[in-house]
Structure 1
Amino acid sequence: MIFLPVTIPETITVHLGAPSADAPNVTVPFADYIKNVASSEIYPTWPEAAIRANIYAQMSYALNRIFTEWYRAQGYDFDITNSTRYDQSFVAGRDIFENISNIVDDMTGSYLTRGNAVEPLFTQYCNGTTVTCPGGLSQWGTVPLAEQGLSAEEIVRSFYGDDISFVTDAPLAPALGGSFPGVTLRLGENSEDVRTVQTRLNRISTNYPGIPKIYPADGIFDADTEAAVRAFQRQFNLTPDGLVGRATWYRIASVFNNVKRLSELDSEGLTLEEISRQYPEELREGMSGVSIKLLQYFLAIVGEYYDALPRWQASQLDGVFGRQTREAVESYQRMLGLPVTGVVDRATWDALLSTYRSVLLVQPEQQWLELFVGLPEVFLVSGMRGEDVRRAQELVNIISRGYPEVPAVTADGIFGDATESAVSVVQTLLGLPATGAVGPLTWEGMARLAADVEASSLVNAGQYPGYTLGEEGE
């Protein structure tokens, strides 16, 4: 996966209201924006370590919105809103606390990432009193930790995990105001913008296999690129003209951001002790946890294929069964003729799993997946044994025939170090976190890669076989 380096923009454009509200935009220096947010969200009398921990979260949150072009990819002309329902508090024209201003000046250029990720972490946080957010930072919760002597970095890791990385001194760059290159990309173009489109479409095709892969992603807008653009446009109800204008550019950016976020928020990195693919319990409004996040994941994937269901932004997969989740459940129940209760009982859960399975097979190219259709419900981690492990190893070995960087493994049904290493390489190919564990996206991605390798080994009579033929007798 190719990413542009993360830089700190000189300015950020803030919409003074909810995303769709008729409200003005203001453009302010990025550092001034963070000073305003910090002065609006937290108290200057808090211990400095607590203030710094909060500023880490606030900077990363804003930079993630800019880096992923979250709002611009949806057609808006701003980077972030000041609505706390969606983003961070920003009060135009407010006074800034002096100590907060000094701390922000000292920290400008800093943000958080997770593991080996490049993009700034989407740092969910809440006040921790009237609102709680599992997995996010509690603003008031930072205070007692600072009073216990923890540093800002230790406080951040206590909320977001030990795999958090701290980036400092990121360079300053002019604000871009959106990444659309300003010209329509078409057959015959050769540029880095074309390479960006190719790279993003290749990642999107991992989740939407009806979109063909583009090899190589070399920045040349050739017939394969045009075919992939047309397939994308058909998939997302755009005019299938094969041209990448503003609407197609930002729709690609939006879907790219969503599939990446789904990869981060699905259960690829969780152990079997943390999640079960069996029906967990009756799920209803007010509940939270991993089971709710799993429910939201299924609803989000299914919602991409059925017009009767709402579309999800990946950031809304928060593991909290709120109004939006209830309404999505009701829409699903209504579509299938189930009792519209908004409660996920066993009948609704089983139906949703069945619909999710059908989504895996909606494209003709995916019929080869039928053998593996039940496997996305199985999580595999190092140390496990059995038939499911052997099937994963068989997929790895098929992939290794077409991708020499993937090592073949012994298909013995034992998930050892060699299998874990090979799976990590495959995940890197797929643009997934290289955890070495096999979750739903890894199952699906491995099956598709294996299908591609199997298909590429079949040639017509007289067709060039793809390798150099030696002299007679060799």
Structure 2
Amino acid sequence: MAEPYIPQYITVHLGPPSSNAQNVTVTFPDYIKNVASSEIYPTWPENAIRANIYAQISFALNRFYTEWYPSQGYSFDITNSTAYDQAFVAGRDIFENISQIVDEIFNNYVQRQGSVEPLFTQYCNGTTVTCDGLSQWGTVPLAEQGYTPYEILQHFYGEDINIVQNAPVRLPNPSYPGIPLRLGDGGNDVRTIQVQLNRISNNYPRIPKISPVDGIFGKSTEDAVKEFQRIFNLTPDGIVGQATWYRISYIFTSVKRLAELDSEGLALEEVSQQFPGEVRRGDTGDPVRVMQYYLAVIGNFYETVPPIQVTGTFDQATEDAVIAFQKTYGLTADGIVGRRTWNDMYRAYRGIVESNGFIAGGQPLFPGTTLTIGSTGDDVRQVQRYLTAISEVYPEVPAVPETGLYGPQTQNAVIQFQNRFNITPSGVVGPITWGLMASIYSDIQSGNLRESNQFPGYELQEEG
């Protein structure tokens, strides 16, 4: 799960979840104004109104953040049935004082101290219906006694709450990354799955623990996914497609009670930023290098995309290539690499790999699957072959036998290679490490070694 944000829009189902009622999409502030105008009275003391609105905001954000309904296969974020959610009357009039308050605080919400998620601020009217959370009518005498909105909320939800202020407002973005995750993939979406499956396994011990939780989709992650799929009657293929992703999300929310008032809580270390967030001009680092590597390859196979150098700096040439790629793929040509551009770039790269693309000198492109401890096969043998040849010129990089098994000896050699050539020493072979190994190996074979620490470009060719 990513960090919470305020959605610009929210989709409301005008009836109980399983009914054939209409869905309406409204801005989040307009939704809260409608709920508040439907649930409480504009003549109440202002502090009571504010306390109730904080609760209504947090309730809605909890439903949105946990994807409570989408994870069950529904096409909406929340219902207007008070048996499940909050009152919402399409087209109703909004009280002016409520509208003004919502405009001021719609991006503030209640959070339990030590937890990340918006608190599931259960509430009831306090007269005909009572509950463990906030009593709407009970807020009135507290406000009349001089309680602040925060103190009113503490009275009902406990002393250990915070009000998060000025949360970011964004367009709604489903948590599912848009492409299936499988063996060899990497990134924060993989880490999210690992974290969630490890917590789920506490309640379902047949699911093996994943260690380490490193964002690399290795054999232990695949085994955990397969067992989860077996338990919950999904095809046990070890691939996290949309159905598996949302089933994991729903079960994770359920076992942690994130959509309940007595939530176990979501700790900060359980939250991932979506990889790589957004990459844009002026950025530097490994995400930029990876993106440039993909673009460098694509640019040698697509005439519409100019080839670029892999420098780790998002410069003008990189932005031009990104825009050209976006135009080629019918994306918004803004030069910013967000999730959709990243995924389409990765798909294009994988298509080239599968059509037998090679670096000049006959070396294969990065296979598209990250190699780490436990990986096996010909791609591992290729890495071991590279390392052994490189060790003859760079003795600080140890040679390794070509066993096809990525064990501790191979991992250590990869780390030494990464240290020697100024790559983050992760011990994992991703596109940057693979590309540099292949280029140096090719130079060794041809007798055309580069200067020490010089990062190579990528001259590419197709087989045949």
Q: Distance in 2 between matches of 1:196 and 1:103?
A: 36
Q: Which residue of 2 aligns with 1:156?
A: 153
Q: Which residue of 2 aligns with 1:16?
A: 14
Q: What is the aligned residue count?
A: 268
Q: Deviation at 1:262?
A: 7.5
Normalised TM-score (structure 1)? 0.54
One of 134, 143, 147 as aligned partner of 1:146: 143
Structure 2 segments unaligned to the other structure (5+ residues): 266-406, 413-464
Deviation per CA, 1:4-23: give whole Å up to 9, x if none. 22111101011111000001
Q: Distance in 1 between matches of 2:237 and 2:215?
A: 19
In structure 2, give the amino acid aligned to 1:124.
Q
Q: Which residue of 1 aligns with 2:191?
A: 195
Q: Distance in 2 between matches of 1:227 and 1:116?
A: 32
Residues 1:28 and 1:116: Cα distance change in structure 2 (over 3 Å):
same
In structure 2, give the amino acid aligned to 1:8.
I
Deviation per CA, 1:300-322: give whole Å up to 9, x if none. xxxxxxxxxxxxxxxxxxxxxxx
One of 53, 64, 67 as aligned partner of 1:66: 64
For 2:75, what is the secondary structure of its paired residue?
Answer: coil
Q: Deviation at 1:267?
A: 10
Q: Which residue of 2 aligns with 1:338?
A: none
Supply the RMSD in Å over aligned alpha carbons. 2.1
Q: Which residue of 2 aligns with 1:51?
A: 49
Q: How does 1:421-460 map to 2 (within 5 A)?
A: none
Matched, 1:126 2:131: no
Structure with the larger helix share:
1
For 1:51, what is the secondary structure of its paired residue?
Answer: helix
Note if contact 2:108-2:164 (Cα within 8 Å) is conserved in structure 1: yes
Q: How does 1:45-444 map to 2 (within 5 A)?
A: 45-133=43-131, 135-176=132-173, 178-261=174-257
In structure 1, give the amino acid aligned to 2:24.
V
Note if contact 2:59-2:118 (Cα within 8 Å) is conserved in structure 1: yes
Q: Deviation at 1:192?
A: 2.0
Q: Distance in 2 between matches of 1:42 and 1:180?
A: 36
Deviation per CA, 1:98-139: give whole Å up to 9, x if none. 000000011121111112111000011000111011x21010
Q: Distance in 1 between matches of 2:263 and 2:108?
A: 28
Q: Distance in 1 between matches of 2:259 and 2:59?
A: 18
Q: Distance in 2 between matches of 1:267 and 1:216?
A: 26
Deviation per CA, 1:196-219: give whole Å up to 9, x if none. 111111111122121111112222
Deviation per CA, 1:176-205: give whole Å up to 9, x if none. 2x3212211111222322121111111111
Residues 1:239 and 1:268: Cα distance change in structure 2 (over 3 Å):
closer
For 1:26, what is the secondary structure of its paired residue?
Answer: strand
Q: Distance in 2 between matches of 1:234 and 1:170?
A: 39
Residues 1:7 and 1:151: Cα distance change in structure 2 (over 3 Å):
same
Q: Distance in 2 between matches of 1:38 and 1:267?
A: 24
In structure 2, give the amino acid aligned to 1:86.
Y
Q: Distance in 2 between matches of 1:180 and 1:108?
A: 26
Q: Distance in 2 between matches of 1:240 and 1:29?
A: 39
Structure 1 segments unaligned to the other structure (5+ residues): 270-462, 469-474
In structure 2, give the amino acid aligned to 1:194.
V
Q: Distance in 1 between matches of 2:109 and 2:186?
A: 34
In structure 2, give the amino acid aligned to 1:50.
A
Note if contact 2:122-2:261 (Cα within 8 Å) is conserved in structure 1: no
Q: Distance in 2 between matches of 1:221 and 1:117?
A: 27
Normalised TM-score (structure 2)? 0.56
Q: Which residue of 1 aligns with 2:32?
A: 34
Q: Distance in 2 between matches of 1:203 and 1:169?
A: 30
Note if contact 2:16-2:84 (Cα within 8 Å) is conserved in structure 1: yes
Residues 1:111 and 1:191: Cα distance change in structure 2 (over 3 Å):
same
For 1:27, what is the secondary structure of its paired residue?
Answer: strand
Residues 1:265 and 1:231: Cα distance change in structure 2 (over 3 Å):
farther
Q: Distance in 2 between matches of 1:268 and 1:212?
A: 22
In structure 2, give the amino acid aligned to 1:155.
I
